Structure 1
Amino acid sequence: MREWVTFFDSEGRVTDSEALRKRVFYGGVEHLIRKEVWAFLLGYYAYDSTYAEREYLRSVKKSEYETIKNQWESISPQQAKKFTKFRERKGLIDKDVVRTDRSLSFYDGDDNPNVCLLHDILLTYSFYNFDLGYCQGMSDLLSPILYVTGDESESFWCFVSLMERLGPNFNRDQNGMHTQLFAISKLVELLDSPLHNYFKQHDCLNYFFCFRWVLIQFKREFEYEKTMRLWEVLWTHYLSEHLHLYVCVAILKRQRNKIISERMDFDTLLRFINELSGHIDLDAVLRDAEALCICAGENGAACIPPGTPPSLPIDNGSLYPQEDDVL
Protein backbone atom coordinates (compact mmCIF):
# COMPACT_ATOMS: atom_id res chain seq x y z
CA MET A 1 0.00 0.00 0.00
CA ARG A 2 2.79 2.45 0.90
CA GLU A 3 4.58 1.71 -2.37
CA TRP A 4 1.37 1.96 -4.42
CA VAL A 5 0.65 5.58 -3.46
CA THR A 6 4.11 6.67 -4.63
CA PHE A 7 3.07 6.08 -8.25
CA PHE A 8 0.53 8.96 -8.16
CA ASP A 9 0.83 12.73 -8.39
CA SER A 10 -1.17 15.03 -6.13
CA GLU A 11 -4.28 14.83 -8.35
CA GLY A 12 -4.21 11.06 -8.71
CA ARG A 13 -2.54 10.53 -12.09
CA VAL A 14 -0.11 7.64 -12.48
CA THR A 15 3.23 9.33 -13.14
CA ASP A 16 4.98 6.39 -14.82
CA SER A 17 2.66 3.65 -16.08
CA GLU A 18 5.51 1.56 -17.50
CA ALA A 19 7.32 1.52 -14.15
CA LEU A 20 4.06 0.54 -12.46
CA ARG A 21 3.42 -2.29 -14.90
CA LYS A 22 6.98 -3.51 -14.52
CA ARG A 23 6.60 -3.53 -10.73
CA VAL A 24 3.41 -5.60 -10.96
CA PHE A 25 5.01 -7.91 -13.54
CA TYR A 26 7.89 -8.77 -11.23
CA GLY A 27 6.15 -8.63 -7.88
CA GLY A 28 2.43 -9.14 -8.20
CA VAL A 29 -0.02 -7.15 -6.08
CA GLU A 30 -0.98 -7.21 -2.41
CA HIS A 31 -4.59 -8.35 -2.18
CA LEU A 32 -5.70 -5.23 -0.27
CA ILE A 33 -4.91 -2.99 -3.26
CA ARG A 34 -5.94 -5.37 -6.04
CA LYS A 35 -9.32 -3.71 -6.49
CA GLU A 36 -7.71 -0.44 -7.56
CA VAL A 37 -4.70 -1.90 -9.36
CA TRP A 38 -6.80 -4.27 -11.46
CA ALA A 39 -9.03 -1.39 -12.59
CA PHE A 40 -5.93 0.25 -14.11
CA LEU A 41 -4.47 -2.96 -15.55
CA LEU A 42 -7.76 -3.83 -17.24
CA GLY A 43 -8.22 -0.34 -18.66
CA TYR A 44 -11.34 0.60 -16.67
CA TYR A 45 -9.30 3.46 -15.18
CA ALA A 46 -7.00 5.47 -17.44
CA TYR A 47 -3.48 5.91 -16.09
CA ASP A 48 -3.71 9.66 -16.65
CA SER A 49 -7.08 10.05 -14.91
CA THR A 50 -7.40 12.04 -11.68
CA TYR A 51 -9.06 10.99 -8.42
CA ALA A 52 -12.01 13.24 -9.30
CA GLU A 53 -12.36 11.82 -12.80
CA ARG A 54 -12.37 8.26 -11.49
CA GLU A 55 -15.01 9.09 -8.91
CA TYR A 56 -17.15 10.66 -11.63
CA LEU A 57 -16.58 7.66 -13.89
CA ARG A 58 -17.78 5.24 -11.22
CA SER A 59 -20.95 7.27 -10.74
CA VAL A 60 -21.78 7.50 -14.45
CA LYS A 61 -20.93 3.87 -15.10
CA LYS A 62 -23.06 2.68 -12.21
CA SER A 63 -26.08 4.41 -13.74
CA GLU A 64 -25.26 2.98 -17.15
CA TYR A 65 -24.96 -0.50 -15.67
CA GLU A 66 -28.36 -0.20 -13.98
CA THR A 67 -29.91 0.86 -17.30
CA ILE A 68 -28.53 -2.20 -19.08
CA LYS A 69 -29.51 -4.51 -16.23
CA ASN A 70 -33.05 -3.17 -16.30
CA GLN A 71 -33.40 -4.42 -19.89
CA TRP A 72 -33.59 -8.04 -18.77
CA GLU A 73 -35.11 -7.41 -15.33
CA SER A 74 -38.15 -5.86 -17.00
CA ILE A 75 -38.82 -8.90 -19.22
CA SER A 76 -42.10 -10.46 -18.11
CA PRO A 77 -42.67 -14.24 -17.98
CA GLN A 78 -44.95 -13.86 -21.02
CA GLN A 79 -42.23 -12.06 -22.97
CA ALA A 80 -39.63 -14.61 -21.90
CA LYS A 81 -41.72 -17.40 -23.46
CA LYS A 82 -41.29 -15.69 -26.84
CA PHE A 83 -37.64 -14.69 -26.33
CA THR A 84 -35.70 -17.86 -27.14
CA LYS A 85 -32.19 -16.37 -26.93
CA PHE A 86 -32.91 -14.85 -23.52
CA ARG A 87 -34.21 -18.17 -22.14
CA GLU A 88 -31.24 -20.09 -23.55
CA ARG A 89 -28.64 -17.70 -22.19
CA LYS A 90 -30.32 -17.40 -18.82
CA GLY A 91 -30.50 -21.19 -18.60
CA LEU A 92 -26.77 -21.53 -19.35
CA ILE A 93 -25.86 -18.87 -16.78
CA ASP A 94 -28.14 -20.44 -14.16
CA LYS A 95 -26.31 -23.76 -14.59
CA ASP A 96 -22.80 -22.32 -14.65
CA VAL A 97 -22.89 -19.93 -11.70
CA VAL A 98 -23.98 -22.60 -9.23
CA ARG A 99 -20.85 -24.60 -10.01
CA THR A 100 -18.33 -21.75 -10.25
CA ASP A 101 -15.78 -21.65 -7.40
CA ARG A 102 -18.28 -22.88 -4.82
CA SER A 103 -15.43 -24.21 -2.67
CA LEU A 104 -14.51 -20.61 -1.85
CA SER A 105 -16.25 -19.14 1.19
CA PHE A 106 -17.03 -16.07 -0.96
CA TYR A 107 -19.30 -18.22 -3.16
CA ASP A 108 -20.13 -21.02 -0.71
CA GLY A 109 -23.53 -22.07 0.61
CA ASP A 110 -27.17 -21.84 -0.40
CA ASP A 111 -28.64 -18.49 -1.46
CA ASN A 112 -25.18 -16.91 -1.52
CA PRO A 113 -25.62 -13.25 -2.55
CA ASN A 114 -22.32 -13.27 -4.43
CA VAL A 115 -23.53 -16.13 -6.63
CA CYS A 116 -26.57 -13.97 -7.38
CA LEU A 117 -24.27 -11.08 -8.32
CA LEU A 118 -22.27 -13.38 -10.59
CA HIS A 119 -25.53 -14.39 -12.29
CA ASP A 120 -26.79 -10.81 -12.68
CA ILE A 121 -23.51 -9.46 -14.08
CA LEU A 122 -23.26 -12.25 -16.65
CA LEU A 123 -26.86 -11.85 -17.76
CA THR A 124 -26.36 -8.10 -18.02
CA TYR A 125 -23.23 -8.66 -20.10
CA SER A 126 -25.19 -10.90 -22.46
CA PHE A 127 -27.43 -7.88 -23.14
CA TYR A 128 -24.54 -5.43 -23.31
CA ASN A 129 -22.77 -7.58 -25.93
CA PHE A 130 -25.78 -9.26 -27.45
CA ASP A 131 -23.92 -10.60 -30.49
CA LEU A 132 -21.51 -12.59 -28.30
CA GLY A 133 -23.96 -13.32 -25.50
CA TYR A 134 -22.89 -15.85 -22.90
CA CYS A 135 -20.57 -18.82 -23.36
CA GLN A 136 -19.34 -21.44 -20.93
CA GLY A 137 -16.12 -20.27 -19.31
CA MET A 138 -17.12 -16.63 -18.91
CA SER A 139 -18.17 -17.26 -15.31
CA ASP A 140 -14.61 -18.47 -14.63
CA LEU A 141 -13.23 -15.17 -15.90
CA LEU A 142 -15.69 -13.03 -13.94
CA SER A 143 -15.42 -14.88 -10.63
CA PRO A 144 -12.01 -13.51 -9.48
CA ILE A 145 -12.94 -10.00 -10.63
CA LEU A 146 -16.08 -9.98 -8.47
CA TYR A 147 -14.10 -11.54 -5.61
CA VAL A 148 -11.55 -8.71 -5.81
CA THR A 149 -13.84 -5.73 -6.39
CA GLY A 150 -16.85 -6.81 -4.33
CA ASP A 151 -18.92 -4.32 -6.32
CA GLU A 152 -21.50 -5.21 -8.95
CA SER A 153 -21.08 -2.26 -11.32
CA GLU A 154 -17.28 -2.08 -11.13
CA SER A 155 -17.01 -5.85 -11.60
CA PHE A 156 -19.19 -5.56 -14.69
CA TRP A 157 -17.08 -2.82 -16.30
CA CYS A 158 -13.80 -4.53 -15.45
CA PHE A 159 -15.24 -7.70 -16.99
CA VAL A 160 -16.25 -5.70 -20.09
CA SER A 161 -12.65 -4.50 -20.38
CA LEU A 162 -11.31 -8.04 -20.00
CA MET A 163 -13.72 -9.32 -22.64
CA GLU A 164 -12.52 -6.61 -25.03
CA ARG A 165 -9.26 -8.58 -24.95
CA LEU A 166 -10.54 -12.14 -24.57
CA GLY A 167 -13.92 -11.96 -26.30
CA PRO A 168 -12.53 -13.61 -29.49
CA ASN A 169 -11.86 -16.73 -27.38
CA PHE A 170 -15.62 -17.25 -27.33
CA ASN A 171 -16.52 -16.51 -30.94
CA ARG A 172 -18.66 -19.18 -32.50
CA ASP A 173 -16.18 -19.84 -35.31
CA GLN A 174 -13.41 -20.31 -32.69
CA ASN A 175 -11.05 -18.37 -34.91
CA GLY A 176 -9.58 -16.52 -31.93
CA MET A 177 -8.75 -19.81 -30.23
CA HIS A 178 -7.35 -21.43 -33.39
CA THR A 179 -5.09 -18.41 -33.97
CA GLN A 180 -3.63 -18.71 -30.48
CA LEU A 181 -3.13 -22.49 -30.71
CA PHE A 182 -1.41 -21.97 -34.06
CA ALA A 183 0.87 -19.37 -32.44
CA ILE A 184 1.78 -21.83 -29.66
CA SER A 185 2.68 -24.38 -32.32
CA LYS A 186 4.99 -21.92 -34.07
CA LEU A 187 6.57 -20.85 -30.77
CA VAL A 188 7.27 -24.46 -29.78
CA GLU A 189 8.81 -25.02 -33.22
CA LEU A 190 11.05 -21.99 -32.62
CA LEU A 191 11.91 -22.64 -28.96
CA ASP A 192 11.82 -26.43 -28.55
CA SER A 193 12.42 -28.28 -31.82
CA PRO A 194 12.61 -31.81 -30.21
CA LEU A 195 9.13 -31.33 -28.71
CA HIS A 196 7.80 -29.86 -31.96
CA ASN A 197 9.16 -32.84 -33.93
CA TYR A 198 7.58 -35.26 -31.47
CA PHE A 199 4.18 -33.56 -31.76
CA LYS A 200 4.51 -33.56 -35.54
CA GLN A 201 5.25 -37.30 -35.64
CA HIS A 202 2.27 -38.05 -33.36
CA ASP A 203 -0.32 -35.79 -35.04
CA CYS A 204 -0.51 -33.39 -32.08
CA LEU A 205 0.15 -30.13 -33.92
CA ASN A 206 -3.41 -28.86 -33.44
CA TYR A 207 -2.50 -28.17 -29.78
CA PHE A 208 -6.08 -28.75 -28.63
CA PHE A 209 -4.63 -30.04 -25.35
CA CYS A 210 -3.84 -26.37 -24.57
CA PHE A 211 -7.43 -25.28 -25.29
CA ARG A 212 -8.54 -24.89 -21.66
CA TRP A 213 -5.34 -23.06 -20.71
CA VAL A 214 -5.92 -20.41 -23.36
CA LEU A 215 -9.72 -20.16 -23.17
CA ILE A 216 -9.91 -19.21 -19.49
CA GLN A 217 -6.32 -18.10 -18.93
CA PHE A 218 -5.18 -21.07 -16.78
CA LYS A 219 -8.05 -20.44 -14.33
CA ARG A 220 -8.42 -24.15 -13.51
CA GLU A 221 -4.72 -24.95 -13.41
CA PHE A 222 -3.80 -23.03 -10.24
CA GLU A 223 -5.28 -22.36 -6.84
CA TYR A 224 -7.26 -19.13 -6.64
CA GLU A 225 -4.57 -16.84 -5.19
CA LYS A 226 -2.01 -18.00 -7.76
CA THR A 227 -4.50 -17.54 -10.59
CA MET A 228 -5.01 -13.92 -9.52
CA ARG A 229 -1.26 -13.36 -9.41
CA LEU A 230 -0.81 -14.88 -12.87
CA TRP A 231 -3.60 -12.76 -14.32
CA GLU A 232 -2.23 -9.47 -13.02
CA VAL A 233 1.17 -10.38 -14.48
CA LEU A 234 -0.43 -11.14 -17.87
CA TRP A 235 -2.55 -7.96 -17.77
CA THR A 236 0.51 -5.73 -17.45
CA HIS A 237 1.41 -6.52 -21.10
CA TYR A 238 4.89 -5.61 -19.85
CA LEU A 239 7.10 -7.88 -21.98
CA SER A 240 4.40 -8.98 -24.38
CA GLU A 241 0.64 -8.83 -24.64
CA HIS A 242 0.87 -12.52 -25.56
CA LEU A 243 2.83 -13.71 -22.54
CA HIS A 244 0.15 -16.34 -21.88
CA LEU A 245 1.36 -18.15 -25.04
CA TYR A 246 4.89 -18.26 -23.66
CA VAL A 247 3.46 -19.62 -20.39
CA CYS A 248 1.96 -22.48 -22.42
CA VAL A 249 5.34 -23.16 -24.05
CA ALA A 250 7.09 -22.99 -20.66
CA ILE A 251 4.77 -25.61 -19.15
CA LEU A 252 5.16 -27.91 -22.16
CA LYS A 253 8.96 -27.56 -22.12
CA ARG A 254 9.03 -28.57 -18.44
CA GLN A 255 7.04 -31.71 -19.30
CA ARG A 256 8.90 -32.52 -22.54
CA ASN A 257 10.99 -35.43 -21.24
CA LYS A 258 7.99 -37.14 -19.69
CA ILE A 259 5.84 -36.64 -22.79
CA ILE A 260 8.49 -38.07 -25.10
CA SER A 261 9.75 -40.88 -22.84
CA GLU A 262 6.21 -42.17 -22.28
CA ARG A 263 5.43 -41.85 -26.00
CA MET A 264 2.14 -40.08 -25.37
CA ASP A 265 -0.39 -39.97 -28.19
CA PHE A 266 -2.97 -37.19 -28.43
CA ASP A 267 -5.55 -38.77 -26.07
CA THR A 268 -2.91 -39.63 -23.46
CA LEU A 269 -1.42 -36.17 -23.79
CA LEU A 270 -4.81 -34.50 -23.31
CA ARG A 271 -5.45 -36.51 -20.16
CA PHE A 272 -1.92 -35.81 -18.89
CA ILE A 273 -2.24 -32.04 -19.45
CA ASN A 274 -5.60 -31.95 -17.65
CA GLU A 275 -4.11 -33.83 -14.72
CA LEU A 276 -1.38 -31.21 -14.34
CA SER A 277 -4.01 -28.97 -12.76
CA GLY A 278 -2.86 -28.04 -9.26
CA HIS A 279 0.66 -29.40 -9.86
CA ILE A 280 2.29 -26.56 -11.83
CA ASP A 281 4.95 -24.38 -10.17
CA LEU A 282 3.74 -20.88 -11.06
CA ASP A 283 6.92 -19.03 -10.08
CA ALA A 284 9.12 -21.37 -12.11
CA VAL A 285 6.82 -21.23 -15.12
CA LEU A 286 6.68 -17.40 -15.04
CA ARG A 287 10.47 -17.23 -14.90
CA ASP A 288 10.68 -19.65 -17.83
CA ALA A 289 8.05 -17.73 -19.81
CA GLU A 290 9.91 -14.47 -19.29
CA ALA A 291 13.18 -16.05 -20.43
CA LEU A 292 11.51 -17.63 -23.48
CA CYS A 293 9.87 -14.35 -24.44
CA ILE A 294 13.18 -12.47 -24.22
CA CYS A 295 15.05 -15.27 -26.01
CA ALA A 296 12.49 -15.44 -28.83
CA GLY A 297 12.52 -11.66 -29.35
CA GLU A 298 11.37 -10.49 -32.76
CA ASN A 299 11.34 -14.06 -34.09
CA GLY A 300 8.84 -14.96 -31.38
CA ALA A 301 6.67 -11.93 -32.16
CA ALA A 302 6.70 -12.99 -35.83
CA CYS A 303 5.23 -16.38 -34.83
CA ILE A 304 2.08 -14.66 -33.53
CA PRO A 305 -0.30 -13.60 -36.32
CA PRO A 306 -1.59 -9.99 -36.26
CA GLY A 307 -4.88 -9.71 -34.38
CA THR A 308 -4.18 -12.70 -32.12
CA PRO A 309 -6.05 -12.15 -28.81
CA PRO A 310 -5.58 -10.19 -26.66
CA SER A 311 -4.02 -7.81 -29.20
CA LEU A 312 -7.07 -5.58 -29.56
CA PRO A 313 -6.10 -1.95 -28.93
CA ILE A 314 -6.82 -0.80 -25.39
CA ASP A 315 -8.47 2.60 -25.47
CA ASN A 316 -8.33 3.72 -21.85
CA GLY A 317 -10.43 6.73 -22.69
CA SER A 318 -13.29 4.74 -24.21
CA LEU A 319 -14.96 4.10 -20.86
CA TYR A 320 -14.91 7.76 -19.89
CA PRO A 321 -18.13 9.71 -20.38
CA GLN A 322 -18.00 12.34 -23.09
CA GLU A 323 -19.93 15.61 -23.06
CA ASP A 324 -22.66 14.13 -25.28
CA ASP A 325 -23.08 11.23 -22.85
CA VAL A 326 -23.57 13.62 -19.96
CA LEU A 327 -26.12 15.65 -21.89
Structure 2
Amino acid sequence: MNDLCSRFLEVLDCEVDTFWSFSCYMEKFSRDFRADGLHRKIELEAALLKELDPPLYAHLVKDNMERFTFCHRWLLLGFQREFEHSEALRLFEILSCDHLELISQQVDRARYQERVAQKFSTEDGSESELQAINTDFTFELFICAAILLEHRESLLQCPDDVQLLQYTNGLQGTLDLNSILKKAEHHFYNYCKRCAWDYTNGRCRPDRSKHEDFFYHLRSLFVLK
Protein backbone atom coordinates (compact mmCIF):
# COMPACT_ATOMS: atom_id res chain seq x y z
CA MET A 1 0.00 0.00 0.00
CA ASN A 2 2.98 2.30 0.48
CA ASP A 3 3.75 2.00 -3.22
CA LEU A 4 0.21 3.07 -4.08
CA CYS A 5 0.02 5.86 -1.53
CA SER A 6 3.29 7.37 -2.75
CA ARG A 7 1.70 8.05 -6.14
CA PHE A 8 -0.98 10.23 -4.60
CA LEU A 9 1.59 12.10 -2.53
CA GLU A 10 3.79 12.71 -5.56
CA VAL A 11 0.96 14.14 -7.64
CA LEU A 12 -0.99 16.02 -4.98
CA ASP A 13 2.03 17.19 -2.95
CA CYS A 14 -0.20 17.53 0.10
CA GLU A 15 -0.47 15.05 2.95
CA VAL A 16 -4.09 15.91 3.74
CA ASP A 17 -5.27 15.50 0.14
CA THR A 18 -3.17 12.37 -0.16
CA PHE A 19 -4.75 10.83 2.93
CA TRP A 20 -8.33 11.37 1.77
CA SER A 21 -7.65 10.40 -1.84
CA PHE A 22 -5.86 7.25 -0.78
CA SER A 23 -8.63 6.43 1.71
CA CYS A 24 -11.25 6.68 -1.06
CA TYR A 25 -9.10 4.56 -3.32
CA MET A 26 -8.72 1.85 -0.68
CA GLU A 27 -12.45 1.84 0.00
CA LYS A 28 -13.01 1.09 -3.66
CA PHE A 29 -10.24 -1.48 -4.11
CA SER A 30 -9.83 -2.91 -0.61
CA ARG A 31 -10.93 -6.36 -1.75
CA ASP A 32 -7.85 -6.58 -3.99
CA PHE A 33 -5.68 -6.67 -0.87
CA ARG A 34 -7.44 -9.69 0.56
CA ALA A 35 -6.50 -13.20 -0.46
CA ASP A 36 -9.89 -13.94 -1.99
CA GLY A 37 -9.87 -10.71 -3.95
CA LEU A 38 -6.48 -11.33 -5.53
CA HIS A 39 -7.39 -14.95 -6.20
CA ARG A 40 -10.50 -13.75 -8.01
CA LYS A 41 -8.42 -11.42 -10.17
CA ILE A 42 -6.08 -14.23 -11.11
CA GLU A 43 -9.03 -16.40 -12.06
CA LEU A 44 -10.41 -13.61 -14.24
CA GLU A 45 -7.04 -13.06 -15.88
CA ALA A 46 -6.82 -16.75 -16.71
CA ALA A 47 -10.36 -16.69 -18.13
CA LEU A 48 -9.59 -13.65 -20.26
CA LEU A 49 -6.36 -15.13 -21.58
CA LYS A 50 -8.24 -18.33 -22.42
CA GLU A 51 -10.56 -16.28 -24.63
CA LEU A 52 -7.81 -14.21 -26.25
CA ASP A 53 -5.17 -16.92 -26.79
CA PRO A 54 -6.22 -20.51 -26.00
CA PRO A 55 -2.81 -22.07 -26.92
CA LEU A 56 -0.92 -19.74 -24.57
CA TYR A 57 -3.47 -20.35 -21.84
CA ALA A 58 -3.16 -24.11 -22.30
CA HIS A 59 0.62 -23.84 -21.91
CA LEU A 60 0.42 -21.74 -18.76
CA VAL A 61 -2.07 -24.00 -16.97
CA LYS A 62 0.13 -27.07 -17.21
CA ASP A 63 3.16 -28.05 -15.14
CA ASN A 64 2.06 -26.06 -12.07
CA MET A 65 1.96 -22.74 -13.93
CA GLU A 66 -1.80 -22.32 -13.58
CA ARG A 67 -1.45 -20.18 -10.46
CA PHE A 68 -0.27 -17.21 -12.57
CA THR A 69 2.09 -16.24 -9.74
CA PHE A 70 3.90 -13.79 -12.00
CA CYS A 71 0.71 -11.69 -12.29
CA HIS A 72 0.29 -11.10 -8.56
CA ARG A 73 2.54 -8.06 -8.32
CA TRP A 74 1.31 -6.66 -11.64
CA LEU A 75 -2.30 -6.59 -10.52
CA LEU A 76 -1.69 -5.70 -6.89
CA LEU A 77 0.55 -2.69 -7.54
CA GLY A 78 -0.92 -1.56 -10.83
CA PHE A 79 2.21 -2.46 -12.87
CA GLN A 80 4.29 0.07 -10.94
CA ARG A 81 7.56 -1.82 -11.43
CA GLU A 82 6.97 -3.02 -14.97
CA PHE A 83 7.24 0.45 -16.53
CA GLU A 84 9.44 3.47 -16.03
CA HIS A 85 8.26 5.63 -13.14
CA SER A 86 6.56 8.35 -15.19
CA GLU A 87 4.83 5.80 -17.40
CA ALA A 88 3.71 3.75 -14.41
CA LEU A 89 2.21 6.89 -12.90
CA ARG A 90 0.36 7.63 -16.15
CA LEU A 91 -0.96 4.08 -16.32
CA PHE A 92 -2.17 4.30 -12.72
CA GLU A 93 -4.18 7.40 -13.64
CA ILE A 94 -5.66 5.62 -16.66
CA LEU A 95 -6.66 2.59 -14.61
CA SER A 96 -8.12 4.74 -11.83
CA CYS A 97 -10.40 6.81 -14.04
CA ASP A 98 -12.55 3.84 -15.22
CA HIS A 99 -12.57 5.24 -18.76
CA LEU A 100 -12.10 1.84 -20.37
CA GLU A 101 -14.00 -0.38 -17.98
CA LEU A 102 -16.67 -2.91 -18.76
CA ILE A 103 -17.89 -2.31 -15.22
CA SER A 104 -19.17 1.09 -16.38
CA GLN A 105 -21.79 -0.80 -18.38
CA GLN A 106 -23.17 -2.54 -15.30
CA VAL A 107 -26.44 -0.61 -15.16
CA ASP A 108 -27.11 -1.09 -18.86
CA ARG A 109 -26.29 -4.76 -18.51
CA ALA A 110 -28.77 -5.19 -15.66
CA ARG A 111 -31.52 -3.49 -17.65
CA TYR A 112 -30.67 -5.55 -20.69
CA GLN A 113 -30.88 -8.80 -18.74
CA GLU A 114 -34.33 -7.82 -17.48
CA ARG A 115 -35.48 -7.35 -21.07
CA VAL A 116 -33.88 -10.66 -22.07
CA ALA A 117 -35.83 -12.47 -19.37
CA GLN A 118 -39.06 -10.90 -20.58
CA LYS A 119 -38.70 -11.00 -24.36
CA PHE A 120 -36.18 -13.60 -25.53
CA SER A 121 -37.21 -17.19 -24.92
CA THR A 122 -37.03 -20.49 -26.74
CA GLU A 123 -39.99 -21.93 -28.61
CA ASP A 124 -41.03 -24.11 -25.69
CA GLY A 125 -41.38 -21.06 -23.47
CA SER A 126 -38.27 -21.45 -21.35
CA GLU A 127 -35.76 -18.65 -21.18
CA SER A 128 -32.96 -18.77 -23.73
CA GLU A 129 -29.51 -19.19 -22.30
CA LEU A 130 -27.38 -16.14 -23.08
CA GLN A 131 -23.77 -15.73 -22.10
CA ALA A 132 -23.52 -12.21 -20.71
CA ILE A 133 -20.60 -9.94 -21.39
CA ASN A 134 -18.23 -10.31 -18.45
CA THR A 135 -18.06 -6.89 -16.83
CA ASP A 136 -15.57 -8.26 -14.30
CA PHE A 137 -12.92 -8.08 -17.03
CA THR A 138 -11.47 -4.76 -15.91
CA PHE A 139 -9.06 -2.90 -18.16
CA GLU A 140 -6.07 -3.81 -16.01
CA LEU A 141 -6.71 -7.44 -16.98
CA PHE A 142 -6.45 -6.44 -20.63
CA ILE A 143 -3.17 -4.66 -19.83
CA CYS A 144 -1.89 -7.84 -18.22
CA ALA A 145 -3.04 -9.91 -21.19
CA ALA A 146 -1.37 -7.50 -23.63
CA ILE A 147 1.96 -7.97 -21.84
CA LEU A 148 1.61 -11.74 -21.96
CA LEU A 149 0.63 -11.77 -25.62
CA GLU A 150 3.50 -9.46 -26.57
CA HIS A 151 5.92 -11.99 -25.05
CA ARG A 152 3.97 -15.14 -25.92
CA GLU A 153 6.76 -16.82 -27.89
CA SER A 154 9.19 -16.51 -24.98
CA LEU A 155 6.53 -17.62 -22.51
CA LEU A 156 5.83 -20.71 -24.60
CA GLN A 157 9.50 -21.65 -24.17
CA CYS A 158 9.27 -21.61 -20.35
CA PRO A 159 8.90 -25.23 -19.19
CA ASP A 160 7.90 -24.53 -15.57
CA ASP A 161 6.75 -21.83 -13.19
CA VAL A 162 10.30 -21.12 -11.96
CA GLN A 163 11.59 -20.09 -15.39
CA LEU A 164 8.32 -18.34 -16.11
CA LEU A 165 8.69 -16.22 -12.97
CA GLN A 166 12.33 -15.49 -13.79
CA TYR A 167 11.42 -14.34 -17.28
CA THR A 168 8.53 -12.11 -16.21
CA ASN A 169 10.61 -10.58 -13.40
CA GLY A 170 13.15 -9.63 -16.05
CA LEU A 171 10.53 -7.46 -17.74
CA GLN A 172 10.66 -4.87 -14.95
CA GLY A 173 11.26 -1.42 -16.37
CA THR A 174 11.57 -2.68 -19.95
CA LEU A 175 7.98 -2.41 -21.21
CA ASP A 176 6.78 0.38 -23.49
CA LEU A 177 3.53 1.81 -22.16
CA ASN A 178 2.23 3.24 -25.44
CA SER A 179 2.68 -0.09 -27.17
CA ILE A 180 1.02 -2.04 -24.36
CA LEU A 181 -1.88 0.43 -24.15
CA LYS A 182 -2.49 0.20 -27.87
CA LYS A 183 -2.59 -3.59 -27.76
CA ALA A 184 -4.73 -3.68 -24.61
CA GLU A 185 -7.26 -1.30 -26.17
CA HIS A 186 -7.26 -3.46 -29.30
CA HIS A 187 -8.07 -6.59 -27.28
CA PHE A 188 -10.68 -4.68 -25.27
CA TYR A 189 -12.29 -3.43 -28.49
CA ASN A 190 -12.34 -6.89 -30.07
CA TYR A 191 -13.82 -8.48 -26.94
CA CYS A 192 -16.67 -5.95 -26.88
CA LYS A 193 -17.16 -6.30 -30.62
CA ARG A 194 -17.35 -10.09 -30.48
CA CYS A 195 -19.81 -10.05 -27.58
CA ALA A 196 -22.01 -7.49 -29.32
CA TRP A 197 -22.11 -9.44 -32.58
CA ASP A 198 -22.78 -12.72 -30.76
CA TYR A 199 -25.81 -11.21 -29.10
CA THR A 200 -27.33 -9.43 -32.06
CA ASN A 201 -26.50 -11.93 -34.83
CA GLY A 202 -26.86 -15.34 -33.30
CA ARG A 203 -28.71 -15.12 -30.01
CA CYS A 204 -31.67 -12.76 -30.29
CA ARG A 205 -34.92 -12.99 -32.16
CA PRO A 206 -35.22 -10.93 -35.35
CA ASP A 207 -38.31 -9.11 -34.04
CA ARG A 208 -36.51 -7.52 -31.12
CA SER A 209 -36.92 -3.79 -30.50
CA LYS A 210 -33.68 -2.24 -31.68
CA HIS A 211 -34.25 0.92 -29.71
CA GLU A 212 -34.36 -1.06 -26.49
CA ASP A 213 -31.64 -3.56 -27.22
CA PHE A 214 -28.47 -2.51 -25.41
CA PHE A 215 -26.26 -4.86 -27.36
CA TYR A 216 -27.68 -3.59 -30.63
CA HIS A 217 -26.37 -0.16 -29.72
CA LEU A 218 -23.08 -1.67 -28.58
CA ARG A 219 -22.71 -3.46 -31.89
CA SER A 220 -23.39 -0.25 -33.78
CA LEU A 221 -20.21 1.17 -32.30
CA PHE A 222 -18.18 -1.38 -34.22
CA VAL A 223 -19.95 -1.38 -37.59
CA LEU A 224 -17.67 -0.10 -40.33
CA LYS A 225 -18.97 3.02 -42.00
Q: Do they superpose with TM above 0.5? A: yes
Alignment of 1:34-73 (within 5 A): none
| Structure 1 position 293 matched with structure 2 position 188 | yes
> Which residue type is aligned with residue 165 of structure 1?
K
* CA drift at 1:187: 0.4
Alignment of 1:245-260 (within 5 A): 245-260=141-156
For residues 208 and 299 of structure 1, do their structure 2 counterparts lie closer, same or farther at Cα, with a shift above 3 Å needed? Answer: farther
SS at match of 1:278: coil
| Contact 2:45–2:141 (CA under 8 A) maintained in structure 1 | yes
> Which residue type is aligned with residue 146 of structure 2?
A
> Which residue type is aligned with residue 159 of structure 2?
M
Structure possessing the higher radius of gyration over alpha carbons: 1
| Structure 1 position 227 matched with structure 2 position 88 | yes
User: CA separation in 2, counterparts of 1:273 and 1:199?
Assistant: 13
| Structure 1 position 216 matched with structure 2 position 73 | no
User: CA separation in 2, counterparts of 1:243 and 1:264?
Assistant: 29
Deviation string for 1:190-237 (max 9, x for gaps)? 001110111123332221110000111111112221111101111221
> Which residue type is aligned with residue 143 of structure 2?
V
| Structure 1 position 164 matched with structure 2 position 27 | yes
Which residue does the alignment assign to 2:100? Answer: 239
- Please list every run of 5 or more consecutive structure 2 residues that lacks an aligned counterpart in the other structure: 104-137, 196-225
User: CA separation in 1, counterparts of 2:169 and 2:194?
Assistant: 30
Which residue does the alignment assign to 1:73? Answer: none
TM-score (norm 1): 0.47
TM-score (norm 2): 0.68
* CA drift at 1:140: 0.1
SS at match of 2:178: helix
User: CA separation in 1, counterparts of 2:158 and 2:15?
Assistant: 49
> Which residue type is aligned with residue 169 of structure 2?
N
Alignment of 1:1-327 (within 5 A): 138-171=1-34, 174-240=35-101, 242-260=138-156, 262-297=157-192
Deviation string for 1:240-261 (max 9, x for gaps)? 151111000000001100111x
For residues 299 and 169 of structure 1, do their structure 2 counterparts lie closer, same or farther at Cα, with a shift above 3 Å needed? Answer: farther
> Which residue type is aligned with residue 184 of structure 2?
A
User: CA separation in 2, counterparts of 1:141 and 1:180?
Assistant: 18
Runs of 4+ in 1 over 3 A off after TM superposition: none
Deviation string for 1:270-319 (max 9, x for gaps)? 1111110011111110111111111112878xxxxxxxxxxxxxxxxxxx
Q: CA RMSD in A?
A: 1.8
Which residue does the alignment assign to 2:206? Answer: none
